[in-house]
Amino acid sequence: MKKFKLGLVGKTLKHSLSPTIHEFFAKSTNLSVSYELFEFEQKTDLLAWLATCGLDGFNVTIPYKETLLPELDELSETAKNCGSVNTVLLKNGKTFGENTDVFGVAKTFENIKIPKQVLLFGAGGSAKAVIFALENKVEKVFVFNRTLENALKLREQFGKIIELVLERDLENCVKNCDLIVNSTPLGMFPNIEKTPFIFRTSLAGKTVFDLVYNPQKTLFLESAECSGAKILNGLPMLIFQASKSFEIWTGKKVAETKNLQVLPEGFK
């Protein structure tokens, strides 16, 4: 039986859940798989490794999701549109880049009632994945970002669906949006005391989704839950995007992702 040689490349990987997730997928599909972590200080080291790595495929994480993209032979439309890759397939001496975060968010959103207006914190790679997944479902995505210039780039790419929000208008925006999403790393381990926002008004009937999954309940989610929102962390998205990567590398679908039972009660 073929053994699929897979892995994850990035800079600091010791807390990654990906090896556990892919081992689980290997068991559930009866495939022989190895999934290793490859840390690189610099892109030049990564490129030298890529030329001789002998893998069938790998995931890409911070800080190489954008910088690896121009080095690949082929890209999916989604990867081109996102401007970043999180999955690389190596086949017949060529590299093919994909971004399965869009699939991961879209699959997560299948379990959430999507309102007409959404508030999104952040304007980076994962914010784009969120917007692609929402694009034909909502009227407005209100974006708040630390660097206005980067939020403006989103507005240029996605057009009128994006509305930029200033800090002083956030309270009001929270009131008008029934889905609120954090796509910044604020609150992620070890900086667990950080949050893009502290909720002070009632969030009854609203859903708050944090793409961060470590810790499982960020300060952002804790504050949202205390205010009455239904909360969801980034773990289901992580598992959904991983299942798509696994399928790209091995050609095997991991059970129907809907049946992975990765969503907490109330989201199925």
Q: Is residue 65 among the annotated active site residues?
A: yes
Among 87, 126, 245, 250, binds ligand NAP (CB under 6 A): 126
Closest contact distance (angstroms) between CB of 257 and ligand NAP is 13
Q: What number of H helices and E strands is found in the chain?
A: 9, 12
The residue from 65, 128, 140, 206 that is catalytic is 65
Establish if 125 lies at the interface with ligand NAP (CB under 6 A).
yes
Count, residues near ligand NAP per rule CB under 6 A: 25
Establish if 69 lies at the interface with ligand NAP (CB under 6 A).
no
Write the Ramachandran bin of 174: left for phi over 0, alpha for psi from -120 to 50, otherwise beta.
alpha
Establish if 145 lies at the interface with ligand NAP (CB under 6 A).
yes
**Token pair listed for 3:** 């053994």
Establish if 211 lies at the interface with ligand NAP (CB under 6 A).
yes
> Tokens 């890409």 sit at which residue?
60
Establish if 68 lies at the interface with ligand NAP (CB under 6 A).
no
Please identify the residue of the shown chain whose CB is closest to the bound ligand NAP: 124
Window 170-199: residues binding ligand NAP (CB under 6 A): 183-186, 188
Q: How many CB atoms lie within 10 A of CB 80?
A: 13
Nearest alpha carbon to residue 102 among 73, 69, 75, 135 = 135
Among 104, 118, 206, 249, binds ligand NAP (CB under 6 A): 104
Sign of the CA dihedral with 161 first, then 162, 168, and 174 last: positive
| Radius of gyration, alpha carbons of the chain | 19
Cα separation of 234 and 26, whole Å? 22
Establish if 216 lies at the interface with ligand NAP (CB under 6 A).
no
Establish if 87 lies at the interface with ligand NAP (CB under 6 A).
no
Which residue number, 10 or 57, has a Cβ lying nearer to ligand NAP? Answer: 10
Closest contact distance (angstroms) between CB of 37 and ligand NAP is 16
Coil, helix or strand for 82?
Answer: helix
Say if CB 218 and CB 210 are below 8 A apart.
yes
Establish if 12 lies at the interface with ligand NAP (CB under 6 A).
no
Q: How many CB atoms lie within 10 A of CB 160?
A: 8
- List helix spans (H) across the chain: 18-29, 43-52, 77-82, 101-109, 125-134, 148-158, 170-176, 219-226, 235-250
Which residue number, 2 or 149, has a Cβ lying nearer to ligand NAP? Answer: 149
Say if CB 142 and CB 149 are below 8 A apart.
no
Part of the chain binding ligand NAP (CB under 6 A), chosen from 17-25, 52-60, 125-133, 259-267: 125-133
Measured at the CA of 84, the angle between CA 4 and CA 197, to 5 degrees, comes to 115
Among 82, 162, 174, 238, binds ligand NAP (CB under 6 A): 238
Task: Write out the residues near ligand NAP by the rule CB under 6 A.
Answer: 65, 101, 104, 122-127, 145-147, 150, 183-186, 188, 211-213, 234, 237-238, 241
The residues carrying an active-site annotation are 65
